[in-house]
Each structure stands twice: as structure tokens, then as C-alpha cells.
Structure 1
Amino acid sequence: MPAIKAALRKKRSPRRDSESIPKHILPSFRSFQLCTLSGTIPTGEDWLFEMKFDGYRAQVAISGSEVRVYTRNGHDWTDQFKTILPSLKKLTKGSVLLDGEIVAIDKAGRTNFSMLKTGIAAGIPLKFYTFDIFEKDGEDLTKTPLIERKAILEELIGERDADDSLQYSHHVIDNGKSVFDAMAAGGHEGIIAKRIDSRYVGDRTKSWLKIKCTKRQELVIGGWRPSDNGRGMASLILGTYEKGQFVYRGRVGTGFSEAMKDKIVAQLEKRRLAKPAFASVPRDIARKAFWVKPELVAEVDYAEITADGSLRHASFQGLRADKEPTQVMLDMPADDSGAGLDPVVGVEIAQALGVKLSNPDKIIYPGTAITKAHLVAYYAAVADRMLPHLKDRPLSLVRDTNNDLRKTFFQKHALAGMPKTLHDGELTKMKGTESRILWIEDLAGLVGGVQMNTLEFHVWGCDRHEPDLPERMVFDIDPDEGLDFGDVKQAATDIRDILGTIGLKSWPLLSGGKGIHVVVPLVPEADWNAVKEFCQDFAELLAKTDPHRFVANMSKARRKGRMFLDYLRNGQGSTAVCPWSMRARAGGTVAVPVTWSELDGLDRANAFDIFAAAERARGQDAWTGYFEVDQVLTDRVRQVVKR
């Protein structure tokens, strides 16, 4: 009780200077904002343009003379980048968190990735070009417009000698074509275009665009072909990850020295596999190949991408140790559809899955262009992320009746005419009664739901094979109409912190409506009675401890000016919206998983429509580690929140 009260109190009351956190604490690693590849250069004075560096993306945390250098995956590479540390240690007496690129400069004045690889090992001078700032002296700057962040950063870095290892990345407002032409003429990789009014968002967005002068791609090595004499390596066999599958993308056989080939083969020999990890490989390529675990990432230049998605005239540039193989996808220019949600493709997907899609051109969300075929394309785009939360779980469908979102109904069991890709059956509940259920096993089930005009998929918190043991808890924060989304975010963060003090890790889900779900994965050991009792005790404890913000009673009258912490979704047979599900709300919004760090930069719970959500699903999983958490709702934990 004292720990919980203290956690709540620190959010409400400003502390005296003597109680405050030290001013210059070393900042923690945050998620990077990533660029979207674009084939066009934006115009107008609301865009600025910078050089695209050919190096390692890095985040530098500084507190006085203490410095940490992190890769894009959050790995501490301070020791590898010792040559840039002296200038960083002298930068400030306070604290900062910087975003930038570590590069090596060749004799022609170009950033050179191959030279960078050698430079790390040999300890040659490197440079850190910083182009953004997350925070300064404990003040979060991510909500500050980019142009203001750049001004703060430029003042911090100041004028520096060209030989200094720390440099500020200058920019030009508008005139992107001229900047691009200058970069191309100088043999540089390309330019970055950024909206000057954009916040810093730890995700891939269209407010940052990359336009390449040269064609370059990261690929994962899945095997190699030996030389004709049987000794050494002739070419590497490459692939990328697309929707959970390792896809063949061609070979690279140039750009290596013989010594380099020997070193790479030595690394590959340690990773040998009997069979290819690729989903499929052309027969003529597979005939003489050796296969390896897809763990090494190569960077290559290439001439073009063929119609089947393979690279032509590829040239090896080096290995990358700063990229996780499963994050490597084919980097194609984005179009205005958000993530290529082509309704024609949606119809083709439905046909391939054996679902007859009636009225594919029917507008599902009034006032938008979103059709039934768009929804099929959307679920195909997010299926790999959604199905682990949905597969084999009893579910309820929210279906539309008159196509205006005003008359929807819940379906919990089979009805006549239901597509066969949705499954139905029975299970026995804890109290001994039989319950008719629906469940889905694959994308075909999701498409079958779309055919039935399903707008939302709601799931039980358990697998149908173990119906008495829940695998998650959901705390649904439902705010009164007059509250700001900032109040909801603060409540979610408070709940996260309090759960953390008793050993439970949680993840935030934007509901797609007006609230946030705080989701807690569990090892299925405690039964539904124990879980529901804990959730009710937790909600009532918060309402008792902080009655000005929380209420544990669903009455609208009692909720005025407060937030209802809905614990009722944690009983057997109760459901909550599935992550990545569409919502039956205007605009075609989606329930989207986010990270705690990026939640702070969002301004509403319905921030993602199907196009933005599909694009997001192509990037890094915001809930990485969710299914690997090993936490149990023990009796000791349950007793902590007893009234």
C-alpha cells in the first residue's frame, strides 16, 4: 500500500528541489524515428533537406563526462566507437540524448561504409554527425517541432573545426531538387527530407523521407555457392523478411577481395544448415548451394529490382552488425495508399484463400474510400502480427447490419451461411456449463469475417484448449467525455508503474476509440477467478487511493470527470478487442500496439487508420518480447492489492 500510494502521489504533486531526481542523470535509450523510402522529392518551405549519411545510425547519451553510444537496436557500442568520445565528453556539463550517424570519410570527402567497417576494427578517426536531439538537461524535446530542435542542437554543438569528431548536420529549407542534384554529383548516397514542424516519433513515418542517389539495400545471407573448382565462395545467396517469411532476393558475387571472401566463409561455416531457411529458392540456385542460419546482414549496391523481387547486378559493400536480420525488409518506395492496400489485391487474396467476396467495392466506412476489398488487403498486411493474439482463442465478432456503423451486433457462435474458414464448437467453462464458441486459425478466417461484414474481432484471454487458464489481463481505461487524452496517457503510465512495482510487465494498446488498454501477459497458471479478483482489487485500490482520477464503478454518473478502470474484461467468457483489429468507428480506425516510449508523443487513441496501421505492421514490432514474458499471477502478488 505505501509503495502504490507513493507511485500515485509522485504523479500528482510537484516535489521540492531536495526531493527531485538528480538534474544530470544519464538519459535512457529511446526508439529511433525511421525514414520512409520515397521516389519523389517533396517541395515547399515546410520541408528541410539533409545529407543521407552512409554509416551507422547511433544514439548518444551524455551526462557530463559520462557517455554511452547505442546502435539502432539499443546495443551499447561505446567501446567500439572510442575515437568519437573525447569531443562528446566535453560537450556539456548537463545531460543530452542525441540522434545521428557515425561515419568514416574517404579521400574524396564522401561517407564510406566499407571504410567505416575497417575503421571500427583499426581505430581510425571517425565522425559523429548529429541531426536531432531527444532531450536536454532532463527536458523532453520530442514534442518540440523539428526546426526548433535543430536550433537547440546547433547552439549546443557550436562552430567546430572540420577535423573534429563531433559535427552538426546542416540542412537546407526547400530547394530539395538542388540538394539532391548536388549530392548525386558528389557521389553521395542521397538526401533526407523532413517536415520542419514534425515531432520526434519513435517509428517509421512519412514525415521523414529518404531519397537515394544510388540504389542500396540491406539483405540477409541465407547461403552461398562455391567456386567452380569447389574451393572458396563464388556468390552469397540473399534474402529479406516479408510478413514472417524469409524470401529469396538473388545473389551477389562481386565487390569482394579474396581475403574478404575467406573471412565471410569462415563465419558462414559456423552457421551451416542442412536445408534452406528460405520459403523457396529457384531450383538452379539451390542445386549447388550451401545453406546457413540467416544471421548475417550484408549491404549491397544494385542496378534494379526485377519483377519477381530479385536484385540485379548487385555489388557487395560490407557486413552490418547493427541490424537484426528479422528487421531487414525489401526497401521499396512508399506510395500514397499508406502500405499498398490495393483492393484488386484484396479480391485476389480472398479468391486464393477460397472465400467468395461478395460486393468487394462496397464502402464499409461512410465518408471514406475504404471498401470490403481494402479490409481484406489490410488483414493480409497485418496477419503475422495479429494472428498470435487471435489464433485458437474463443472470440466474438462485431458485425454491421446497415452499413452506417450505427447498428452493429455481437456474434458469439455460428450462424447459418457463415464461411467455413471460421470455426465453431463448444467448450466447458469452470462452472461446468457448455459454451458455444467461434475461433479463427489463419488469414482465411479473418477474410471470412470480412465477408460477413465483421468490423471488430474481440477475443477471450485464453486458448480454447485451456479455457480455464487465462494468458493475459486487460485494464481498459475508459475516460469521461470531458477528459483530455493526456489524462488517459498519464493513467496508463501510472498503472504500468504500479504493476511494475509488484513485478508485472505490461504493454499499451491504443484502443482505436478514446482509451488505452494496459495489457499484462501471463503464464497460464492462475484460473479466471484469481485473475478477475486481482483485477477488481487493483481497480478498487486505485479508485480508493486516487478517487479524483479513478473510479471502479461503470456508472456514467459516477465517472464524471474521472476514468473508469474496466476490470470486467478479465472474466471467463468476457472479451477485449484484439490487437490490430479494425474498429466499428468513423474513419476506419484500428486498435494498434505501441511502445511506452512512443505513447508519450501520441495525441489520440484513434491515431491509426487501416493505411497507417498496415504501414506500421511492416516495421519493428512494438510489442517485442510480449510472448516471451515469464510472469505468473502468484498468491503473493494477489495479496499486495487486497483491500
Structure 2
Amino acid sequence: MPAVEVAHSKKRTRRRDSESTLRYPLPAFRQFQLCKLTEDIPVGADWLFEMKFDGYRAQVAVSGADIVVYTRNGHDWTRQFKVILPPLQSLTKGSALIDGEIVAVDSQGRTNFSMLKTGIAAGMPLKFYAFDLLELNGEDLSGRPLIERKERLADLLGDRDPNDSLQFSTHIADNSKKIFDAMCAGGHEGVIAKRADSRYLGDRTAAWLKIKCIKRQEFVIGGYRSSDPGGGMASLILGTYENGKLIYRGRVGTGFTEAMRNKILAQLEKRRLDRPAFASVPRDIARRARWVKPELVAEVTYSEVTPDGSLRHPSFEGMREDKRADQVVMEVAKSEAAPATATLDPGIGKGIAGAVGVTLSHPDKVMYPDTVVTKATLAAYYASVAEKMLPHIEDRPLSLVRDTNGDLQKTFFQKHKLPGMPKAIHDGQLEKMSGKESRILWIDDLAGLVAGVQMNVLEFHVWGSLRQQPDLPHRMIFDIDPDEGLGFEDVKQAALDIRGVLEAVGLQSWPLLSGGKGIHVVVPLVPQADWEAVKGFCQDFAELLARTDPSRFVANMSKARRKGRMFLDYLRNGQGATAICPWSTRARSGASCAVPVTWDELPTFKSASAFDVFAAAARAQQPDAWEGYFYVEQVLTERIRKAVR
């Protein structure tokens, strides 16, 4: 759209709603001022630098308590963004047209677009960062210099509580390189540079620039998508190796010339495969994919890696012939890695509880002695890990460990409904293999986790089956329970040995730091064998280890017989037995959590309680340590069962 000259100080006609109240009409939507992408960072005091937010651009029209939220295309999304309205409705008795960005902020203080999409659907807390003021009390400010508009915006917004959904987007003049480097080091998307004297023209001009933080590395080509017309190459399907497996990292479809596409396609056609070499691929990607042998390597630039491990904004740079495909791993710079701790804002926890329909009584109650972990902190924690935790807990019969007095000394186990339970924790009935009816509890969303927090639940334990298929377990667990005299090094070595034996009989497994003193070795299953077969296999497996290495293992739970050895607890694999759910907190001092880890990193941990809620929340923002867990298809066959008898 061409630039439009705007007259200064043009005021709208006021209207009188009553004899004592004058009101300005609701400002109309305007075309947004847009940024030009550049790799060159401007310098000089005549440039203002702001954070580049990863959210939804929005204009907010205000007239007293009347609010309309406009999207970039001028659509009215007031209803979708109702969570940001309260502070705007009390902002002024006059009128204003404010430009800004609606964002969700993750546990590390970064704006997160994936989380924003979830937040809109769930009504979770969002923030509106205001960075420009186009109209105030009927006066058109778009022709005024940006620095003046921002000063008047700051005066209008006043001092805001950090937890308020309305915030002023601050800026810094000059120091461009230092600001950009700091943003990139903090894992942010980049910066916006704006000329301090620029007018608001409703067009894409060089007065506003965006500079992205770009990352670059090699990726293995494991397949491609063809163009709909003509069958050419539309995009490459990329991966990196992790623990010997090719892990899907997304697709790249930009950065190619037509000659490049044809040349690469000719190389790919010589390497066609019927099945993917990847450990797993999202179904919507696999439907239209053509697979190739993972032999070719491409260099790709990208802005960031999403929490599920895929590339954002990738662009093809060229082919690499100086590196073997099996040497390509995901490079994670120190600035990209999640820190050892993360901020779990109690204010966010309170907002999340309200958003999911759970009332937190006494939200500031400390749940772990000598910590800052409150009920509201735990609500924020479960919101930060929900994406990874829910697949392990939803629709599975539950047992809950609840605290009674806040000192971890009086906890109790709950398997059935009690009076006063929130509705988000469901109650029902199923029939066991024995023919007996059993009352059960289950949850199926974040509201259920937060409802547990309200009930002082400190541990979520789950069955190994779904409530819809109670006779067919989806996993089995080997819980390594060491004698008190043994150290964690012994437990880690035992877990690695168990993994080796399982691999020898044809079963993949994943390690879980229990948050207590042991490790769980978890084996996912296609639900075909019943509980008797699974429990029988686990008992035979434990007795095999006890026979072949009696100095280290015992298959009898007697404390007297366990002296100096480890009990491999197979009893968690019976119908009705439970085990701690991945990502659950534990009823132990320090607010430790049960956290999935990889086999490669297991030797680096000093204890099974290596993660408290803050470290676990940061961990949950990284790619999944149990990549492929829900995709593996392995069955407990009679051949495997016989192998351990």
C-alpha cells in the first residue's frame, strides 16, 4: 500500500453520552506500519531498538471501557483476546488507538508463538506489549515523530505491575550491536530498529527494520516433498542423528534457485527408499513425503529450534560434501541451552488456574519447607510441562499422593473420589481382569493437573494402561530400588545393564530419574499382552538378573535380603499397580521431580533427584529426551518371554 500523508493534530468529533460525560468515538482501524527485513544493523542515536516479539500484531482501539482488538488484516478479534481486556478497559476515560503485539511468555521469559496458539484456545494469560500510539482523545498522532508518540504512550500507560497483561515495550537508543547480541544470546527472535523521527505511514518502509538472530548448521536429507504440478522438489525433509537414530528436524523449502532444485532432485532420485530412515515423522509430513537414503548433507540457516525440536524459518544455503551424514548432530550453543533454573512466576500460576477454571485457595501457601515453591508456583510448573506430561497421564487410572500439613511429614495415598474434589479430576468405574469392579480417578488436561495442585497433590502415579483398555498395558517398568548403603553410581550402572539385556531380547527402553533415589527403566508396548503376561515377564527378568549377578541384584523385596544389593521391583507391573508419572513433582524436600533423560546423558547425573521444579520447567522447553517413545511399536511376544526364563 502506498504511503499516505497524514495531517497533524486532526481531532475527531466528541459525543456526549450524558450531561456530565464527554466521550470520544472508538478509533477506526488503520493499516499497520510494517518492517523491512535486513541483515545490517543500523547505528546512531537516531535509531530506537526494541525486542522483536514472537506473537500476534494487534491494534487496540479504546473509548473508555469499550475495546476492540484488531488483527493485522483488520479483523475484530476482541473475543479471542478477551484475557488482555481488563487493564485496557480502565486505561482512560478518553480514547486511544494503540499498536503492539500480543504474546505468550514462556518460563524463560521468551515470547513463544506455539504457546500463544495454545493460550488463545485455552484462555490462558497473555500480554499485550504496546509500542506505538496512533491516536489519543481524537487527536491523530501518526504524523508526529516516533519518539514523541512513545513518550505520550508511556505517560498513558503509567507504571505497570510486571504481572499485568498490559505492558509498555521499552526501547534503547544506539548501542545496536550490543543490544542485538544480547537478544540473540537470550534466545530471542531478534530486534526491531525504528528511526526516532519517523512518522507512522501504514506501509512497509525502511524507517522500521527487523534484524533476526540467525543460526546455521548442517542437516541430513532424509526425504523430500514434491511440487504438486510437475512433480519437482518443493522442500527437503531434514534430520540430525541422536543416539544412532535419525531425528526429524523439519523441512526447508526456501533458498533454492530452479537450477539447484533440479540438480538436488536428480541426486535424490538415485537414493529412493520405500520407508523413512527417520525414527519417527509427523503423520501430516509423512503422507506426502518421498523417502531417500540419508546420505546427502545440506547447510541451512534458521532462526531457532522449537520446543519439539523442529527448525523455525529455515533457508537452504548449499550442499555439503565435506561431512559424512552420520556425523551430523544437532549443535546447541550455550546460549541456546535452557538454564539450570527457570522462573516460575506465581502470578502466572494464579492466572493459569483461573483460565482453566480452577480456584486456588491459599495460592501463596508454601508447599515445600525452606523453599519459595507455593501452590501458585506449582500451577505455573504444570503449565510449563503439560505438553510433555499429558501424553503420559491423560486417560490413565491415577493414584494421588497428597500432603496434609505442608511439612511433607503427613502424606496419604488416594485412589478414589473424596468429597469436595474439583470436577477436572474425573471419577469412574472399570472392571478388572479378576472380574471385580474398581472405582478410579483420571485426568485429561491441564485443568486436571492444576486441580491436583489445589488438592495439595504432590505426586501423580499412573497405571500402565488406559482406562478404555484396562486389561492391556501400554508399558512396563523396571524400578531399581537400591539398599541404603549403595550409591547412585551403582544405580546408574544397573540401569545401563538392564537396558543392555532388554536390547538383547529385542526391546527398546528409556530411563526416568525418579526424583527420589532410584531410576525407572521404562519399556513402551503395543497393547496386546495382558497384565499376567507382562508381570510374569518382569518377574522372570528380575529373577534372571538375581541368578546371573547375585552380588548386585535381588528379586525378593525383603529388606534383610537386599543388604548391599538392588531390588528390581517388578510388582509395579500388575493391574492396579502404579508408578510415578514422568514430570510429576515428588513429596520430597527440595521439590524434586521425575524427569525423562536420555541414555547418553544418564551417566552425567549425580542423583535421581537432579531436577527441582525450576530446573524441570526449563528442561521441558528443550527437545524431548524420550524422542520416539510414543512411536515405537514393540510387542511382548512369546519368543521374548522365553528368552528370560
Task: Go from structure 1 to structure 2 and tell me whether the alpha carbon gap of 1:191 and 1:585 turns closer, same or farther (over 3 Å shift).
Answer: closer
Alignment match of 1:367 (pick from 367, 370, 385): 370
Q: How far did residue 624 of structure 1 move?
A: 1.0
Residue-by-residue CA offset, 1:189-221 (whole Å, 9 max, x unaligned): 9999xxxxxxxxxxxxxxxxxxxx98335899x
Matched residue SS, 2:541: helix
Could you tell me whether the CA contact under 8 Å between 1:364 and 1:370 is conserved in 2?
yes
Matched residue SS, 1:600: helix
> Are 1:395 and 2:393 matched, yes or no?
no
Could you tell me whether the CA contact under 8 Å between 1:189 and 1:214 is conserved in 2?
no
Task: Quote the residue 2:465 is aligned against.
Answer: 462
Q: How far did residue 372 of structure 1 move?
A: 1.1
Hey, what's the Cα distance between the residues in 2 that align with 1:189 and 1:467? 50
Q: How far did residue 339 of structure 1 move?
A: 3.0
Could you tell me whether the CA contact under 8 Å between 1:397 and 1:454 is conserved in 2?
yes
Matched residue SS, 1:626: coil
Task: Quote the residue 2:442 is aligned against.
Answer: 439
Task: Quote the residue 2:214 is aligned against.
Answer: 216
Alignment of 1:148-187 (within 5 A): none
The code of the aligned residue for 1:526 comes to: A
Residue-by-residue CA offset, 1:277-313 (whole Å, 9 max, x unaligned): xxxxxxxxxxxxxxx99x99997799x9xxxxxxxxx
The code of the aligned residue for 2:213 comes to: K
Could you tell me whether the CA contact under 8 Å between 1:299 and 1:320 is conserved in 2?
no
Hey, what's the Cα distance between the residues in 1 that align with 2:340 and 2:351? 18
Alignment match of 2:424 (pick from 406, 421, 425): 421
Hey, what's the Cα distance between the residues in 2 that align with 1:415 and 1:586? 26
Hey, what's the Cα distance between the residues in 1 that align with 2:408 and 2:298? 47
TM-score, reference length from structure 2:
0.52
The total of aligned residue pairs comes to 395
Residue-by-residue CA offset, 1:248-298 (whole Å, 9 max, x unaligned): xxxx99x9989899999xxxxxxxxxxxxxxxxxxxxxxxxxxx99x9999
Alignment match of 2:519 (pick from 513, 516, 519): 516
Residue-by-residue CA offset, 1:351-379 (whole Å, 9 max, x unaligned): 11011111111111111111111111111
Aligned alpha-carbon RMSD (Å): 5.1
Task: Quote the residue 1:480 is aligned against.
Answer: 483
Q: Which aligned segments of 4 or more residues in structure 1 are displaced greater than 4 angstroms?
A: 187-192, 217-220, 255-264, 295-302, 314-322, 331-337
Residue-by-residue CA offset, 1:450-508 (whole Å, 9 max, x unaligned): 11111010000001001001111111000011101111111111111111111111111
Task: Go from structure 1 to structure 2 and tell me whether the alpha carbon gap of 1:631 and 1:419 turns closer, same or farther (over 3 Å shift).
Answer: same
Could you tell me whether the CA contact under 8 Å between 1:361 and 1:373 is conserved in 2?
yes
Q: How far did residue 617 of structure 1 move?
A: 1.2
Alignment match of 1:635 (pick from 624, 629, 638): 638
Hey, what's the Cα distance between the residues in 2 that align with 1:574 and 1:381? 28
Could you tell me whether the CA contact under 8 Å between 1:301 and 1:317 is conserved in 2?
no
Hey, what's the Cα distance between the residues in 1 that align with 2:543 and 2:530? 20
The code of the aligned residue for 2:584 comes to: S
Structure 2's unaligned 5+ residue stretches are 1-174, 187-210, 220-234, 236-252, 265-287, 292-296, 305-312
> Are 1:600 and 2:598 matched, yes or no?
no
Task: Go from structure 1 to structure 2 and tell me whether the alpha carbon gap of 1:595 and 1:320 turns closer, same or farther (over 3 Å shift).
Answer: farther
> Are 1:549 and 2:539 matched, yes or no?
no
Task: Go from structure 1 to structure 2 and tell me whether the alpha carbon gap of 1:189 and 1:589 turns closer, same or farther (over 3 Å shift).
Answer: closer
Matched residue SS, 2:600: helix
Task: Quote the residue 1:407 is aligned against.
Answer: 410
Task: Quote the residue 2:352 is aligned against.
Answer: 349
Task: Go from structure 1 to structure 2 and tell me whether the alpha carbon gap of 1:567 and 1:366 turns closer, same or farther (over 3 Å shift).
Answer: same
Could you tell me whether the CA contact under 8 Å between 1:214 and 1:301 is conserved in 2?
no
Could you tell me whether the CA contact under 8 Å between 2:398 and 2:462 is conserved in 1?
yes
Alignment match of 1:584 (pick from 583, 587, 591): 587
Alignment of 1:92-103 (within 5 A): none
Q: How far did residue 517 of structure 1 move?
A: 0.6
Hey, what's the Cα distance between the residues in 2 that align with 1:456 and 1:563? 24
Alignment of 1:78-157 (within 5 A): none
Task: Go from structure 1 to structure 2 and tell me whether the alpha carbon gap of 1:422 and 1:300 turns closer, same or farther (over 3 Å shift).
Answer: same
> Are 1:572 and 2:575 matched, yes or no?
yes
Alignment match of 1:453 (pick from 456, 461, 472): 456
Structure 1's unaligned 5+ residue stretches are 1-180, 193-212, 221-235, 237-251, 265-291, 305-313
Hey, what's the Cα distance between the residues in 2 that align with 1:392 and 1:191? 40
Structure (1 or 2) with the larger CA radius of gyration: 2
Task: Go from structure 1 to structure 2 and tell me whether the alpha carbon gap of 1:562 and 1:337 turns closer, same or farther (over 3 Å shift).
Answer: closer
Task: Quote the residue 1:499 is aligned against.
Answer: 502
Alignment of 1:524-535 (within 5 A): 524-535=527-538
Hey, what's the Cα distance between the residues in 2 that align with 1:449 and 1:629? 30
Residue-by-residue CA offset, 1:383-440 (whole Å, 9 max, x unaligned): 1111111110001011100101111111101111111111110000001000000011
Q: How far did residue 332 of structure 1 move?
A: 8.8
Could you tell me whether the CA contact under 8 Å between 1:349 and 1:377 is conserved in 2?
yes
Hey, what's the Cα distance between the residues in 2 that align with 1:317 and 1:297? 7
Q: How far did residue 628 of structure 1 move?
A: 1.5
Task: Go from structure 1 to structure 2 and tell me whether the alpha carbon gap of 1:529 and 1:328 turns closer, same or farther (over 3 Å shift).
Answer: same
Q: % of aligned pairs identical?
A: 64
Hey, what's the Cα distance between the residues in 2 that align with 1:554 and 1:474? 16
Hey, what's the Cα distance between the residues in 2 that align with 1:443 and 1:260? 46
The code of the aligned residue for 2:395 comes to: D
> Are 1:383 and 2:381 matched, yes or no?
no
Hey, what's the Cα distance between the residues in 2 that align with 1:361 and 1:464? 34
Hey, what's the Cα distance between the residues in 2 that align with 1:497 and 1:300? 38
Alignment of 1:181-220 (within 5 A): 215-216=213-214
Task: Quote the residue 2:625 is aligned against.
Answer: 622
Could you tell me whether the CA contact under 8 Å between 2:483 and 2:565 is conserved in 1?
yes
The code of the aligned residue for 1:640 comes to: A
Hey, what's the Cα distance between the residues in 2 that align with 1:538 and 1:336? 39
Matched residue SS, 1:597: coil
Hey, what's the Cα distance between the residues in 1 that align with 2:495 and 2:338? 34
Task: Go from structure 1 to structure 2 and tell me whether the alpha carbon gap of 1:610 and 1:297 turns closer, same or farther (over 3 Å shift).
Answer: farther
Could you tell me whether the CA contact under 8 Å between 2:338 and 2:621 is conserved in 1?
no
The code of the aligned residue for 1:628 comes to: Y
The code of the aligned residue for 1:488 comes to: V
Q: How far did residue 553 of structure 1 move?
A: 1.3
Task: Go from structure 1 to structure 2 and tell me whether the alpha carbon gap of 1:214 and 1:538 turns closer, same or farther (over 3 Å shift).
Answer: same
Q: How far did residue 633 of structure 1 move?
A: 1.2
Q: How far did residue 315 of structure 1 move?
A: 12
The code of the aligned residue for 1:424 comes to: D
Hey, what's the Cα distance between the residues in 1 that align with 2:357 and 2:182? 49
> Are 1:540 and 2:568 matched, yes or no?
no
